[in-house]
Every structure is written in structure tokens, then in C-alpha cells.
């Protein structure tokens, strides 16, 4: 994954083309080439793994976009990582919509996926469509994501028929944590067959990709092999077509014990903590503001 990380801007000011789908936007124009769902399928066919990160605001969206992350997910995990709820269940469409809007405003190339929150799509395909239309229209999302397997095939079909690209999500689905008995690996043993059947049903219904969360690497490998559409793993081993992490886990903003599937690439918590501490000390010592920070 790291081997193919893209440099956003070449010396010529041209946007690099990490998705390898023909020439980048011609020299002379600075309009970035947008990631499309067929690019992701092409990466799968070429065996090139691609990264996905969550983003919930403008600055992170801009930075991750420039870092060459082709897909940004405005996760319902904003519940935990923005709003401070203890599970992802309480977050609402009205809370998530402004986050989606700020991410789509800031990302120039990335495909932005809006995660449908608990209760906003399960009732019926009609409800799923009404909610997704809000994320597309008001949030300017490019796609939506929902949790669940074959039982949600009608929902996925309703959305794709309406022109809305859908990403599925199977394995451990946090919105069902009370039903699944907590944060537990799914798809062990017999359940591997159900995982595959769910993935195939989502593909058949028109999903353009499927997230697999906390499933055995062997099961994820098999599903990835059987599907034509890309699989996106989180705690699903190295053989998925793509890998996703929550950005505060990836960058070390969230403290405390991280799930096993997390790799921490920075200590953002430490950086912010020491910046705030240094600022506080400066103010208390009367060293900020200095003459150059004041107007006369
Ligand atoms: N910051 C953050 N990262 C996530 O990956 C994430 C969220 N929030 N919020 C929504 C869901 C919840 N997820 C979670 C949360 C916790 C574990 C966890 O504690 N896993 C442990 C126990 C696994 C086990 O017992 O089998 C682990 O070590 O992986 C896993 C997934 C994934 N999502
Ligand atoms: C972890 C990813 C896949 C997610 O659904 C979220 O962040 O809400
Ligand atoms: Mg989610």
C-alpha cells in the first residue's frame, strides 16, 4: 500500500495520476482529475491495493486528498471520533450532513462516501433512498455506504437504480454491535459462507465496493477473490483490494488502546498536546504576543 502512495503535485504543477487511468489533467490546467468508481475496479483488476481514510472536516479532507487517498469516508464513526458518543448508534443524519458537506467542499479529487447512520435506512428501500438523496443533494456526496448483507440488497438496488453509488459493509457492523455481542470477529468457520453470500448479494444488487470489518484474513481473501467489485478491509487481512482506517487511529489522535487492526503512523495527540502546552506557558510568562504579533 505504501509503495504506491502518490505525490499529489509534480514539479510541473500537474496532478499525479495514482489511479493509472490514462493521462492526468493536461499541463496548463490545474483542475484535478476526479476519482470515479470505475477507477477503483481497474485498480482491483491490476492488483494494486488502494487506501481509504475517514475524514470529517475540511482540513483533513484537503490533506488526505493531497496525499493521494482516492476515497474518503465520512463515517458514522464521527459518533465516536467527533461527537464523543460511546457507540456509533446515536449519531443522526442532521449531525453528519454538515461534516459531509465540508469534506466534499475540500476534497478536489477524492471520491467522498457518506456513511448512512443507524436508523436512517433500515426501515425500507424508500427510507434508504430518501436519506441518500439528502446526502447527495445537501452533502454533495459522491456515494453512500450502508451496513448489512443480503437483507439489504433491495435497499442497495433502490439506490443504484436512482443513480447513487453504494458501498456495502459486512462482517462486524458497528450499528449492530448489540446484536453481535460487542466488538467481535465475524465470519469464522461456518459463518464464512454467509459472509461470501452477503458479499455476492451486495455485488448483485449493484454495490460498487464492500467493506469487510473484523473478519478472518482467509475469509476476506476468498471473498475478495470471488467478487468482481473491490473489497475494503478493516481488520480483514492483507488480501483485500483496499484498506481503510479511522484517521484518528491512523494518525494517533485518539488515545487509549487501539483495536488490533490499527497501525499508528503519527503522534498527532502528542503534537497538539505540546503545542497547547507551549502556548499556555508563553501566555502565562508574558512571552506571547511578542512585538511582531501586535498592531500599533
Ligand atoms: N476510532 C474508531 N476506530 C474504529 O475503527 C471504529 C470506530 N472508532 N468507531 C466505529 C467502529 C467501531 N469499531 C471498533 C471498535 C473497537 C474495536 C475493538 O476494540 N477491537 C478489539 C477487540 C476485538 C475482539 O475482542 O475480538 C481489538 O483488539 O481489535 C473494534 C472495532 C470500528 N470502528
Ligand atoms: C470504519 C469504517 C469502515 C466506518 O464504517 C466508519 O468509520 O464509520
Ligand atoms: Mg461506519
Ligand 2 pocket residue status of 54, Cβ below 6 Å: yes
* One domain for residues 274 and 180: no
Nearest atom in ligand 2 to the alpha carbon of residue 213 is 3
List pLDDT tens digits, range 210-219. 999 999 999 9
Please confirm, yes or no, whether 213 is among the known catalytic residues: yes
Query: Which residues have a Cβ under 8 Å from the Cβ of 165 and sit 6 or more positions away?
Result: 37, 142, 143, 144, 208
* One domain for residues 278 and 239: no
List pLDDT tens digits, range 107-122. 999 999 999 999 999 9
The answer to whether residues 49 and 4 touch, using CB atoms and an 8 Å cutoff, is yes
How many domains does the chain contain in total?
2
Structural element, H or E, at residue 234: strand 231-234
Known binding residues: 76-77, 115, 145, 147
Could you give the CA distance from residue 174 to residue 180 in angstroms, rounded to a whole number?
Answer: 9
Mean pLDDT value across residues 69-86: 98
User: How many C-beta neighbours within 10 Å does residue 158 have?
Assistant: 21
Given this model, what pLDDT does residue 18 score?
53
Residue 40 within a domain: yes
Ligand 1 binding pocket mutation candidate from 174, 177, 234 (most atoms within 8 A of CB): 174
* One domain for residues 232 and 286: no
20 pLDDT more than 70: no
Given this model, what pLDDT does residue 32 score?
79
Ligand 2 binding pocket mutation candidate from 233, 234, 249 (most atoms within 8 A of CB): 234
185 pLDDT more than 60: yes
Q: What is the mean pLDDT of the chain?
A: 92
15 pLDDT more than 60: no
Q: And the C-alpha cell for 220?
A: 476476506
The answer to whether residues 73 and 56 touch, using CB atoms and an 8 Å cutoff, is no
Domain with 226, as residue range(s), is 2-10+31-265
Span from the CA of 280 to the centroid of ligand 1 (angstroms):
34
List pLDDT tens digits, range 31-48. 779 999 999 999 999 999
Span from the CA of 30 to the centroid of ligand 3 (angstroms):
33
Residue 151 within a domain: yes
* One domain for residues 48 and 171: yes
Q: Which residues of 266-288 are buried (b: 16+ CB within 10 A; e: fewer)?
A: eebeeeeeeeeeeeeeeeeeeee
List pLDDT tens digits, range 221-274. 999 999 999 999 999 999 999 999 999 999 999 999 999 999 999 999 999 999
Ligand 2 pocket residue status of 212, Cβ below 6 Å: no
Could you give the CA distance from residue 37 to residue 58 in angstroms, rounded to a whole number?
Answer: 22
Residue 48 within a domain: yes
ipTM: 0.95
* One domain for residues 259 and 154: yes
* One domain for residues 166 and 295: no
C-alpha count within 13 angstroms, C-beta hemisphere, residue 273: 8
Given CA atoms 285, 290, 295, 296 in this order, what sign does their dihedral have? positive
Q: Which of 193, 204, 213, 226 is catalytic?
A: 213
Q: What's the pTM value of the predicted model, to 2 decimals?
A: 0.91
Span from the CA of 259 to the centroid of ligand 1 (angstroms):
5
* One domain for residues 181 and 83: yes
DSSP state letters, 104-152 = HHH-SSSEEEEEPPTTSSTT-HHHHHHHHHHHHHTS--SEEE--BSGGG
Residue 20 within a domain: no
CATH number, domain with residue 232: 3.20.20.60
Structural element, H or E, at residue 66: helix 58-66
Amino acid at each position: 500500500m505504501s509503495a504506491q502512495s502518490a505525490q499529489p503535485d509534480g514539479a510541473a504543477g500537474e496532478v499525479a495520476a495514482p489511479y493509472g487511468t490514462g493521462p492526468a489533467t493536461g499541463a496548463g490546467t490545474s483542475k484535478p482529475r476526479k476519482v470515479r468508481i470505475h477507477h477503483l475496479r481497474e485498480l482491483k483488476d491490476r492488483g494494486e491495493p488502494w487506501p481509504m481514510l475517514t475524514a470529517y472536516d475540511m482540513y483533513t479532507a484537503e490533506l488526505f486528498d493531497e496525499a493521494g487517498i482516492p476515497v474518503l469516508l465520512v463515517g458514522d464513526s464521527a459518533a465516536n471520533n467527533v461527537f464523543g458518543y460511546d457507540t456509533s448508534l446515536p449519531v443522526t443524519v442532521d449531525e453528519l450532513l454538515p461534516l459531509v458537506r465540508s469534506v466534499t467542499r475540500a476534497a478536489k479529487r477524492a471520491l467522498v462516501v457518506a456513511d448512512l447512520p443507524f436508523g436512517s435506512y433500515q426501515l425500507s428501500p424508500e427510507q434508504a433512498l430518501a436519506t441518500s438523496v439528502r446526502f447527495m443533494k445537501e452533502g454533495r456526496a459522491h456515494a453512500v455506504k450502508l451496513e448489512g448483507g443480503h437483507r439489504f440488497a433491495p435497499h442497495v438496488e433502490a439506490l443504484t437504480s436512482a443513480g447513487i453509488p453504494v458501498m456495502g459493509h459486512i462482517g462486524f457492523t458497528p450499528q449492530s454491535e448489540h446484536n453481535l455481542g460487542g466488538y467481535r470477529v465475524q465470519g469464522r468457520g461456518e459463518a464464512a459462507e454467509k459472509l461470501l453470500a452477503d458479499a455476492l448479494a451486495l455485488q448483485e444488487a449493484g454495490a460498487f465496493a464492500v467493506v469487510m470489518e473484523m473478519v478472518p484474513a482467509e475469509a476476506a481473501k476468498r471473498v475478495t477473490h470471488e467478487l468482481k467489485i473491490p473489497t475494503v478491509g478493516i481488520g480483514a487481512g492483507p488480501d483485500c483490494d483496499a484498506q481503510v482506517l479511522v484517521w484518528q487511529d491512523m494518525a494517533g489522535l485518539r488515545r487509549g488502546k487501539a483495536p488490533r487492526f490499527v497501525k499508528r503512523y503519527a503522534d498527532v495527540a502528542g503534537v497538539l498536546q505540546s503545542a497547547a502546552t507551549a502556548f499556555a506557558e508563553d501566555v502565562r510568562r508574558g512571552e506571547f504576543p511578542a512585538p511582531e504579533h501586535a498592531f500599533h
